[in-house]
Amino acid sequence: MRIIQSFWSDPTDIKCGFYDTKYHLMSWTLSSLTLSKYYGSIELFSNLFGCEILIDKLNLPYKVGSLSLEAFRKENKFPIWTLSKLYVYAQQTAPFIHIDGDIYIFKDILSQFANESLIAQNEDNSFYCYECAVNDILSNNLKSIPQGIINGASFNGSNMGIVGGTDVNFYHLLYNRVCSFLNENQGQITDFNFDLNHLSTFLEQGYSLILAKELEKDIRYLFKTPATKDMPLKLQNFYSERIKSPYVHLMGSKCNYLVCEQLAQRLRLDYPEHYNRVLDVTTFLNRLFVGYEQPSKLRLVNDEMFRTKEIMLGFNFVGVMNLNRSDLNDLIVSLAEIPEILEDVISFEERRLDFFKKIATDPRLVENLLLFEENANDLSHLNWQDVKSSGVRFVLTDQDSIIESEWNWSEENEFRNSCLKPKENLVIPPSYFKTSLILFFNNPIIIKELVHDPLGIILTDLLLKPMTILDIYTNLSEIYGIDTENIDGIIEERIRFLLYNFVIRIAKNNEPE
């Protein structure tokens, strides 16, 4: 069974949708290493720059399948990013399985497809990207519109994170059909009348499903249940046991800092030498190409009291945004009466700052966290029943990392389900919130805030002292009246998530209860 991958980035666009360049390189590293563990050497279809980075510098287990993307990328006149992938599919003359570079496999799940004519990850039903592309195609009166669209607008597609099979002629025809469509509508498409990202996705994944139906060919899917816009497949789970979640595909989460850090953690734990090599290569690229590393799209706040200042603005305090922390404290102390919400936000930010200072002045804490990370990693190989019966005890990693408040002060980040801004709390009544400060081991260390839901609040309350999983279940049932049997999977996922993100850790053998 031939496993192939394709890489065509150049120095001007190597982030490729990832939060940061290093995560893009980490993704290719983890993808190739996990694939080669089960399927041997992987064929790489790339350009010269891709081979230099992935093979020469990162030393990944590839053999060069072709360098034809070098010429193709120079000659291609269409701004359709999936055309490079379609071109690689069309080059194949023998059965193959193509795997995207943001997919990681932790057991052999592909051998079952060795003799299938056509394969793909899953069917996408009624996705917005297909709907947008189809509407653009129909509204611009293009030529050679696929019959499947004319007969009835198709908003479905085949997710081609994995794709291939024995019927290589299908992919030759697919590429030729897409090229014919693009050539006949070149003027309108190159004039940027379209959302090119949606069109690119449709021409690969939507068109492939339309063509398969036209030719009455069945596609064998890795996941039999279709994904929908309301129920997408959740494949970005690095923290569940590998037996249950042996397939991870980042897809649209590549720009999510949390997901990227979980990717980095997995690479650091499983392949530490390769992890360090990625960091070295990223540094090399940064030096070689000026302006190569672009700032993140997320707002990184340097002012540790920005929430307090925004609330004070809401009470008509003029000029507070330019005050340093000392002057701000003097102003607050001088107030005859401090509103409850202002006291709450000040307490939150001071607790956060105190924890950061603790981390900065105690290097042993970071060393301990890395040790806890390794211990927790051992559990990722165990199924949940084995974890339950192991007698392993869990406890909060650091009680100082927990902040209780009457309003939600967490910064907008990957953990947030909303984009609430601090000043919006001025019109919200007080309640109860518990926030964990999550560490990310970058240089410098970054802290993000995770606001707990009711289950998270209960778990962090219980784990103020060491407990086994069976102890946790007993308390959830007897104290809180929770039917643990019905939500066993939810409890497992939450505990693994908290463990993976250092909110809780494995307790030491001699740690008192």
pLDDT at 434: 95
CA end-to-end span of the chain: 53
Ranges 155-159, 368-372, 374-378, 468-472, most confident:
468-472
Distance, in Å, from the CA atom of 175 to the CA atom of 87, rounded to the nearest integer, reads 6
Classify burial at 4, counting beta carbons within 10 Å of its beta carbon; exposed 0-12, middle 13-18, buried 19 or more: buried
Q: Nearest to residue 236, comparing CAs of 256, 206, 218, 219? A: 256
> For the domain bounded by 3-288, which CATH number is listed?
3.90.550
Distance, in Å, from the CA atom of 304 to the CA atom of 422, rounded to the nearest integer, reads 13
Distance, in Å, from the CA atom of 155 to the CA atom of 147, rounded to the nearest integer, reads 14
pLDDT at 113: 94
User: How does pLDDT run across 494-505, given as a tens digit for each residue?
Assistant: 998 898 888 999
Q: Nearest to residue 176, comparing CAs of 199, 196, 146? A: 146
What pTM was estimated for this model as a whole?
Answer: 0.83
pLDDT at 324: 83
Q: 92 or 365, which is more confident? A: 92
Mapped to the 3 state alphabet, what secondary structure does 460-490 carry? HHHCCCCEEHHHHHHHHHHCCCCCCCCCHHH
**How is the chain split into domains, by residue range?**
3-288, 306-506
pLDDT at 507 over 50: yes
Percent residues over pLDDT 70 in the chain? 91
Token match 């193509």: residue? Answer: 98
User: How does pLDDT run across 244-290, given as a tens digit for each residue?
Assistant: 778 999 998 888 888 888 899 889 888 999 999 999 998 888 776 64
Distance, in Å, from the CA atom of 464 to the CA atom of 396, rounded to the nearest integer, reads 6
Is the torsion defined by CA of 27, 31, 32, 34 positive or negative?
positive
User: How does pLDDT run across 204-231, given as a tens digit for each residue?
Assistant: 999 999 999 999 999 999 999 888 877 7
Q: Nearest to residue 277, comparing CAs of 43, 25, 41? A: 25
Distance, in Å, from the CA atom of 72 to the CA atom of 159, rounded to the nearest integer, reads 24
User: How does pLDDT run across 329-375, given as a tens digit for each residue?
Assistant: 888 888 888 899 999 999 999 999 898 888 877 777 777 777 777 77
Mean pLDDT of all residues belonging to the chain: 86
pLDDT at 497: 87
Q: How far is CA 190 from its chain centroid?
A: 31
φ and ψ at residue 201, rounded to 5 degrees: -65, -40
3-state secondary structure of 58: coil
Largest Cα–Cα distance of the chain, in whole Å?
Answer: 81
Of 33-47, 284-298, 444-458, the poorest mean pLDDT is in 284-298
Residue type, 232: P
The interaxial angle of helices 83-91 and 168-184, nearest 10 deg, is 140
Is the torsion defined by CA of 136, 138, 142, 146 positive or negative?
positive
pLDDT band, very low/low/confident/very high, at 300 (cuts 50, 70, 90): very low
Contact 261, 296 (CB under 8 A): no
Helices (H) and strands (E) in the chain, counts: 20, 16
Distance, in Å, from the CA atom of 96 to the CA atom of 85, rounded to the nearest integer, reads 13
pLDDT band, very low/low/confident/very high, at 29 (cuts 50, 70, 90): very high
Distance, in Å, from the CA atom of 416 to the CA atom of 411, rounded to the nearest integer, reads 8
Q: Does an H or E element contain 454, and which?
A: helix 454-462
